[in-house]
Structures are given as structure tokens and as C-alpha cells.
Structure 1
Amino acid sequence: MKYQDILIENGDVVLDAGRNPVLIQDRAVIAQDIKHAIIESGLAVEMVAERSRSKRADLSMKLELLVEEDVRLVPGTVRLEEQTEGVIYVFAATLDFGELSLFVDVEQSRG
């Protein structure tokens, strides 16, 4: 185990049956960090709200570059998809833990 963190879902710490924080490791920590970086950037909300194709493409590229900044990922492996409006999927390869996939539901992240 290289990375460890507390699991956060919908802005809240997730607790187990004994009311202790649930811990996550390695790939799950990286995914959670990326998801929070996307949400905190505000770019995902801006992208979903944008109707101009070219501006959406620019915002998507900014999101991809934001994710690429994570030094725990293999450079050039980040791919973003918006298969459903308001849900952004992220795919990448980590340096130490294989493939990574996550999604950001923009509606839920608006808080």
C-alpha cells in the first residue's frame, strides 16, 4: 500500500457499521483525488452548461490537462468521455496500480 485516505462520497465522510471512517488505498485514492480536483475546478459544471461545441471542446481539453497534471498517472493515457449529459467519465493508467476509471456526476457535485 502506497496511498491511503478516508472515503468521501457526496461531500461526506463514509462511515462503516462501527461509525469509523472507511479507508481507501492506492488506485481508489488517486481516483478520489482526481474526482475532487475536477469538481473543485468548476470546469465540469461549466462544460455541461455550455452549448457551443467549440467551447465545450475547449473545456474538455482543460479538464483533460487538469487530470494529466497528476504525477501518479502515465502521461498521455487520460481520456474523458461524456456519454450521458452531465456525467463525465475519466479513464487513465496509473504508474503503479493499472487502469483507472471514474465518473463525475456534475448534478451531484453542484452540492
Structure 2
Amino acid sequence: MNYIYQDILIENGDVVLDAGRNPVLIQDSAVIAQDIKHAIIESGLSVALIGEKSRDGRADLKKQIELLVEEETRLVPGTVTLEEPTLGNIWIFAKTREFGDLQFEVKEVTN
């Protein structure tokens, strides 16, 4: 098949391997979601959100995450929304330019 985007699947900071010990490949919208997840985690905003206790501070951090996601050029501008159903679990909803709706969870891994 022809894909626009392809990458190796990363979970919890590690390459995911299949039963044959080969890297699992992801395509298209999954690549976009993974790139956004990594941008959020690498920005440190998700850790800051977990540590922030004030409602105003949390709202500000959520807005910063939303703006960071909006910078992704493969998304339709203005379609990004963010939900945090439980502390440390952020759901991102957006529309991609090529693949339609996108939704995924960002969990901050703390060691």
C-alpha cells in the first residue's frame, strides 16, 4: 500500500516490536498522533499540568497544549480540542487535512 507518512511505533519511550522482534510500523494518521504526543511530552507541558493545582493555572497550561497542537500543519486549523477526564490523561481531538478525524490520549509517563 502507499502511505503518505510511515514511522516506527513508540510507546512509553520504547520501540514496539512484533512477535518476530521487528519494529511495528504505523502509517498516516497514527504517525500524526504520535508526533503530536511526542511534542506535548517533550514540551514538558503535560508534566506541568499534572503538578499544577490552581484551576486558572491548569486552564492556562491546557491552552498552551492546545496552541502547541494547533502548530501541527497536517491538522485543519481551529479543529483542535482538548479534554482531561482524569489527572494526567489528556485527550486530543482534531481533524487532519488528509485523513479526517483524529483522537488520541496523551499519558505522561512518570518514573
TM-score normalised to structure 2 length? 0.95
Write out per-residue CA displacement over residues 38-74 of structure 1, whole angstroms, 9 at most, x where no aligned residue: 1101101101211111111111100000000000000
Instruction: Please give the secondary structure, in 2, of the residue aligned with 1:90.
Output: strand
Q: State the Cα RMSD in Å.
A: 0.8
Listed as ranges, the gaps of 5+ residues in structure 2 are: none
User: Between the two proteins, what is the percent identity of the paired residues?
Assistant: 68
Among 2, 6, 9, which residue is 2:8 paired with? Answer: 6
1:84, distance to aligned residue in structure 2 (A): 1.0
The superposition leaves residues 3-50 of structure 1 with CA deviations (integer Å, 9 ceiling, x where unpaired) of: 000000111101111111110000000000000111101101101211
1-side partners of 2:38 and 2:54: how far apart? 25
d(CA) in 1 for partners of 2:107, 2:9:
17
Which of 76, 79, 87 is the equivalent residue of 1:77? Answer: 79
Which of 77, 81, 88 aligns to 2:90? It is 88
SS in 2 for 1:36: helix
How many Å apart are 1:110 and its aligned residue? 2.6
1:29 aligned onto 2:34: no
- Cα distance in 2 for partners of 1:15, 1:58 equals 37
Q: Say which structure, 1 or 2, has more relative contact order (CA 8 Å, 6+ apart).
A: 1
Q: Does 1:38 pair with 2:64?
A: no
* Distance of 2:110 and 2:100 partners within structure 1: 30
Moved over 3 A (4+): none
CA distance in 2, matches of 1:61, 1:32: 20
Question: Normalized against structure 1, the TM-score is what?
Answer: 0.95
